[in-house]
Chain A
Amino acid sequence: MLLQIKNLHASIQGKEILKGVNLEVNRGEVHAIMGPNGTGKSTLASVIAGRDIYEVTAGEVVFNSLNLLDMPVEQRAREGIFLGFQYPVEIPGVSISNFLRTALNDIRKYKGLEPMPATEFLAKMEEKKKLVEIHSKLTNRSVNEGFSGGEKKKNEIFQMAMLEPILSILDETDSGLDIDALRIVAGGVNSLRSEKNATIVITHYQRLLEYIVPDFVHVLYEGRIIKSGGKELALELEEKGYDWLKNGG
């Protein structure tokens, strides 16, 4: 098993957001997490990635036989966790290429590898830019600074392509994308799928799941996963909303 979350409780400023989440993800799988606004989807993603503003009060997260909750943020990333942010952060003055080069080389250092030669790095950038059809000009700019909503989301997928993680958690990567961009982003995600890695997509819309077809769909509701099913669950949710699940589905 790649990821196992057991009875995860997390709170922020004394307010409990996650109230016992259980989730298992195997290599090669795609999981979708859906649920109403404010139920803790982004919180779950952030806790897995290691954001320290959340306090984990109970439970465990095991990734690749490692206890994730003991690790600092960067080590989780180096072990293969990638979070596609719902709200990517603007970092004026840090160019995307400098940012990614630092990231790649820090990851390589962790794995005992030499820094990637500049030419190899540039070639990799070119290759991955094509994958997400990102404008060349964009990567010379500061990270996310002044990017449109859609450009920011594409940039997340571009980073994912560059870092080649084992588990990608994509938090509403589809929101704000036009139809063409949605297809490109989904195409990017699909082309990076393999037997070795896994993806968790957080979304409000069934439409994304037509492009990135999930093996499992989970409903997170008030800090708990209250229902899991196959891809047809997403269709049902689209039709009926969440109310019918309130009393335990």
Chain B
Amino acid sequence: MILSDITNFDQIFRENLKTIGRRDTEIVSEYRADALNHLLRLGLPTSSNERWRNTDISKALQTDYSIFFEDFQDQLKPEDYFTCEVAGLDTWLITLLNGWYTFKNSPLRILPSGTIIGSLSRAMVECPELVENHLGKAADNSENAFTAMNSAFATDGFFIYVPDGVEVTKTIQMVNVVSHTDPIFVQTRNLVILGKNSKLRLAHCDDSHNHNPGFTNSVTEIIMAENSNLDHYKLQNINDHSTLINNTYIHQEAGSKCTTNALSLHGGFIRNEIFVKLNGRESSVDVYGLYLMDKKQAVDNYVFIDHAAADCTSTEMFKGILDDYAHAVFNGHILVRKDSQRTIAYQSNRNILLTDKAQINSKPFLEIYADDVKCSHGATVGQLDTNAMFYLRSRGISEDNARLLLMYAFAAEIINKISIESLRDRLDDMVKKRLRGELSICDQCVLHCKTPDKPIEFEIDLSKV
């Protein structure tokens, strides 16, 4: 199927509705139909769309992808794909292969605390009221075609529910691997619900396992009740022919605290959209991102923070290093509504360009209707500091190593925000490898991979600058 032809979607939806909606409750089924209407009305974005002005997605939309509405991979052994072990990190691991929950026949895991971990399609059957009460509460189909498409078609994804007052001590690791013999279009829908005073740490990884083109259109909704606390990490390491659209919607009630950190290490095209609604007083969100791109890779971060209540704080910090012809876009939109007094909102986007062909479009957009607001934003684009380069080299350090030290130092500010020590060490290691050009896509996520050949195909070329 060619995605760019929007009429295809209408037809495919009707032809496959029985399969797509086989587990839907009535409410979910209405939600799907409504989302499809939005999709058909909106059409797919082009560069004439303000939010997509600096990003060209047309090529990815013209690829002919296979789409599956039923799990087709019974014969696959998940162990071959998720040979995972993170030194010193005890996690609940849940996995999707090409969008399908890999332990689909096992029931939802319900921990003694009442925490539920499993697949969304399973949750629709086993705890439909939880799904119905939260699905679509944060995501907005009316303005975003990819979100609407996901709402209409996605049938599986991760589901996590943490009851009031529960602290999940182990980190939950959600891994989505795309690996298929021909181009595949994958849509995953994740729903994360945090009860009052609950606490959760979540690592969310998107990986490819081979070099075939893939297109993932993923929507994650995170609903945070009063005083809940979430630490959220996204790690993106997909091949150069792959496209990843990762729309995350976070809804925060009073006193809740969220940190979300996106590390984009490889990808043909990655678009991260993060929408945060600070809906209750004294809630706060920290949105961090690091992108290291080379060759013709492209990454586009769009962050929208809606200060819908007073006394809330948001901090955005995105940093990137771009080599070769890499292209990055950062758009940061902060909305402070009329009654959201004493808002604090910081935003910064800093970039290092290693070649004059690399490109960054960075644009802040502050929309402020309250008067008692502390707000700052800044964007910088630069090269490596020549004084620092000379200082390092004057101690005998090679030019390559001096550059590495400075690039790493630049990236470290974001890595140091990772509060889980073992995860930080692992990601730190991956970033170093990435900067040295030694990271292959088989160093999947925070996992170690058993795949025998680890092609070293991606590198930041140190001979530049």
Contacts and interface: CB of A to CB of B under 8 A. Distances in A.
A142 interface: yes
B455 interface: no
Interface string A54-75: 0000000000000000001110
Interface string A106-131: 11001000000000000000000000
B258 to A, nearest CB: 26
A91 B392 contact: yes
Given A94-B405, A94-B409, A99-B405, A89 B397 contact: no
A140 interface: no
B401 A102 contact: yes
B282 to A, nearest CB: 32
Contacts of A142: 409
Contacts of B412: 93
Interface string B372-403: 00000000000001111011111111110110
Interface stretch (A35-43, A77-85, A240-248): A77-85
Give the contact-size bracket for chain A.
20 to 34
Contacts of B402: 74
B413 interface: yes
A225 B152 CA distance: 81
A88 B410 contact: no
A134 interface: no
B408 interface: yes
A72 B398 CA distance: 10
Interface of B is mostly: helix
A91 B388 contact: yes
B166 interface: no
B61 interface: no
A145 to B, nearest CB: 10
A106 B394 contact: no
Nearest to B395: A103
Given A92-B409, A93-B412, A94-B406, A99 B392 contact: yes
A112 to B, nearest CB: 14
A188 interface: no
Given A85-B391, A89-B391, A91-B388, A103 B396 contact: yes
Contacts, number: 77
Contacts of B401: 102, 106
A46 to B, nearest CB: 8
Contacts of B396: 74, 77-78, 103-104, 106-107, 110, 163
Contacts of B393: 50, 72-74, 77
B398 A74 contact: yes
Interface in B318-368: none
Given A91-B388, A92-B409, A93-B409, A99 B394 contact: no
A51 interface: yes
Contacts of A78: 396
Interface residues of B, number: 23
B390 A73 contact: yes
Contacts of B386: 53
A91 B397 contact: no
Given A72-B399, A91-B388, A106-B401, A77 B406 contact: no
A77 B394 contact: yes
Contact of B406 (A52, A91, A100): A91
A74 B391 contact: no
Contacts of A53: 386
Of the listed residues B386, B387, B395, B397, the one surrounded by the most CB atoms of chain A closer than 10 A to its CB is B395
B390 A74 contact: no
Interface in A166-222: none
A98 interface: yes
Given A74-B397, A74-B399, A93-B410, A98 B405 contact: yes
Of the listed residues B391, B396, B399, the one surrounded by the most CB atoms of chain A closer than 10 A to its CB is B396
A82 B394 CA distance: 7
Contacts of A110: 396
A92 B416 CA distance: 13
A76 B405 CA distance: 20
Of the listed residues A52, A76, A94, A100, the one surrounded by the most CB atoms of chain B closer than 10 A to its CB is A94
A72 B402 CA distance: 13
A50 B391 contact: no
Contacts of A99: 392, 395, 397, 405
A103 B398 CA distance: 8
A21 B406 CA distance: 35
Contacts of B397: 74, 99, 102-103, 106
A206 B406 CA distance: 38
A100 to B, nearest CB: 8
Contact of B409 (A77, A91, A103): A91
Contact of B390 (A51, A92, A98, A104): A51
A78 to B, nearest CB: 5
A106 B397 CA distance: 6
Contact of B387 (A89, A100, A106, A163): A89
Interface string B85-124: 0000000000000000000000000000000000000000
Contacts of B398: 74, 106
Given A50-B393, A50-B394, A73-B394, 4 more contacts: A74-B394, A77-B394, A93-B409, A94-B408
Interface of A: 49-53, 72-74, 76-78, 82-83, 85, 88-89, 91-94, 98-100, 102-104, 106-107, 110, 142-143, 159, 163
- Pairs A-B, 9 closest by C-beta atoms: A93-B409, A77-B396, A103-B395, A89-B391, A73-B393, A107-B396, A74-B393, A93-B412, A94-B409
Interface of B: 385-388, 390-399, 401-402, 405-406, 408-410, 412-413
